[in-house]
């Protein structure tokens, strides 16, 4: 059955969905009420269609500016620098950071040919110079590339007279922001150190 095979193949391409899971999901989907299935399909296409990147911070948004950049209650002069837009969600879950974000869209990785011009470092420097930023918290992952990126950015920003801090190593080395609980993440922000 061609349509099922195609569906299994497409599901199997998603991260963490092996062939067995893809088959199980596909055979479940075809037994679901038709309207539920069409709503699932529509919500997939719709989310992709409507999501874009905030031109200020690089976060996901459905509107012109993202929810955080357009919120006047956020502390305007503190920026938290993260690797990608999903990290904003992990930080926000903590509910203890009230500043704004700057999404790099990647980290420096000489092995993969990703230099400073391939991620949003120039945009960060622009923001620090033009948005009266008093502190930049570097919250890239505590792995080799994340540390190297943080060091590089710190070196670029310090001459501008802004306070540059790094989230504390409460986070396990080699870890990933996605899998860290809110309390550890809160500690990591609390114990941030000067760079």
Should residue 10 be labelled a site residue for a copy of itself when binding is judged by CB under 8 A? yes
Question: How are beta strands 135-138 and 163-166 bridged, if at all?
Answer: parallel
Nearest CA to 96 among 186, 23, 191, 195? 186
* Distance from C-alpha of 103 to C-alpha of 90, rounded to nearest angstrom: 13
* Distance from C-alpha of 7 to C-alpha of 92, rounded to nearest angstrom: 34
Q: Of the two residues 49 and 132, which places its CB atom closer to a copy of itself in the complex? A: 49
Should residue 74 be labelled a site residue for a copy of itself when binding is judged by CB under 8 A? no
Should residue 19 be labelled a site residue for a copy of itself when binding is judged by CB under 8 A? no
List, in sequence order, the alpha helices (H) in the chain. Answer: 2-12, 19-29, 34-50, 85-94, 121-130, 144-157, 182-190
Say which residue the tokens 């269609």 belong to: 49
Should residue 15 be labelled a site residue for a copy of itself when binding is judged by CB under 8 A? yes
* Distance from C-alpha of 39 to C-alpha of 19, rounded to nearest angstrom: 24
51 Cβ neighbours under 8 A, 6+ residues apart = 60, 61, 62
Among 34, 72, 113, 194, binds a copy of itself (CB under 8 A): 34
Q: Of the two residues 32 and 160, which places its CB atom closer to a copy of itself in the complex? A: 32
Q: Of the two residues 50 and 155, which places its CB atom closer to a copy of itself in the complex? A: 50
* Distance from C-alpha of 158 to C-alpha of 163, rounded to nearest angstrom: 7
Should residue 89 be labelled a site residue for a copy of itself when binding is judged by CB under 8 A? yes
Among 19, 40, 160, 183, binds a copy of itself (CB under 8 A): 40
Should residue 6 be labelled a site residue for a copy of itself when binding is judged by CB under 8 A? yes
5 Cβ neighbours under 8 A, 6+ residues apart = none
Q: Of the two residues 59 and 165, which places its CB atom closer to a copy of itself in the complex? A: 59
* Nearest approach, Cβ of residue 14 and a copy of itself (Å): 6
Stretch that binds a copy of itself, among 15-23, 119-127, 139-147, 187-195 (CB under 8 A): 15-23
Should residue 44 be labelled a site residue for a copy of itself when binding is judged by CB under 8 A? yes
Positions touching a copy of itself (CB under 8 A) are 1-4, 6-7, 10-11, 13-17, 21, 23-30, 32, 34, 36-51, 60-62, 67, 85-86, 89, 178
């Amino acid at each position: 059955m061609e349509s099922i095979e195609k569906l299994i193949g497409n599901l199997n391409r998603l991260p963490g969905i092996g062939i067995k899971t893809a088959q199980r999901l596909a055979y479940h989907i075809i037994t679901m009420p038709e309207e539920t299935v069409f709503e699932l399909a529509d919500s997939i296409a719709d989310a992709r269609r409507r999501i874009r990147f905030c031109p200020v911070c690089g976060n996901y948004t459905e509107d012109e500016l993202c929810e955080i950049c357009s919120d006047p209650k956020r502390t305007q002069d503190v920026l938290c620098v993260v690797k990608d837009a999903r990290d904003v969600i992990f930080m926000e879950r903590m509910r203890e950071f009230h500043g704004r974000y700057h999404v790099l869209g990647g980290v420096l990785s000489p092995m993969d040919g990703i230099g400073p011009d391939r991620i949003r470092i120039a945009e960060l420097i622009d923001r620090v110079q033009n948005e009266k930023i008093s502190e930049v918290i570097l919250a890239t992952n505590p792995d080799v590339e994340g540390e190297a990126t943080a060091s590089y950015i710190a070196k670029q920003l310090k001459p501008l007279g802004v306070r540059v801090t790094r989230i504390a190593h409460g986070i396990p080395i080699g870890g990933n922001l996605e899998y860290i609980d809110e309390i550890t993440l809160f500690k990591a922000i609390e114990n941030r150190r000067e760079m």
